[in-house]
Amino acid sequence: MTQHNKKLVVKAGAGKIVEGIMQLEGSYKEAADAFSFIDIAADISYEGNAYIMMFSDLGIFKLLCQVDDPALLMEYVPESLQKLFNYKKPQQEDLIITLKTYLNYNQNLSKTAQDLYVHYKTAAYRIGKIAKITGIDFDNANERLAVRIGLVVYRMIENFNKK
């Protein structure tokens, strides 16, 4: 299809293979969950756009797909990250993008700056500002993991609110 129309984007979610019509509903639910996770997966993997998502590839995020209440999902976003999302200043979006990029590059400021097309000192300033606003301890692996998961959960909440 994309050969005929270069602007066409095809995305698909897939559930598990089932035998018989009685199990089809469960597979359809998995496919729908995987489909709704496609754009979020691009954030997780940082490999651009994902076009096919298998429910079986969601890993730990399968558990979060079972929660359909945005208020309940918010409990999985660390308070430190909530502070950043509640930071109502013009540079909030830049700080969030910088945080995602910094974590995706395993806290490498040079690669973060290069990817964001900013000076190294600008990236360092932003990370310092994020640490000041949120209190995130970037040396704590558990806290970094919680923040990474929180970024995904926050994206899930945004998707719920769009419905």
CA distances from 161 to 37, 97, 154 (A): 14, 20, 11
pTM of the model: 0.78
Q: Where are the domains of the chain?
A: 1-66, 67-163
Q: What are 80-97's pLDDT values in tens digits?
A: 999 999 998 999 999 999
Higher pLDDT, 42 or 85: 85
Q: The tokens of 128 are what? A: 């310092």
- CATH fold group of domain 67-163: Arc Repressor Mutant, subunit A (1.10.10)
DSSP letter at 20 equals: S
Higher pLDDT, 153 or 60: 153
Residue 122: pLDDT over 80: yes
CA distances from 97 to 18, 22, 85, 150 (A): 40, 44, 11, 14
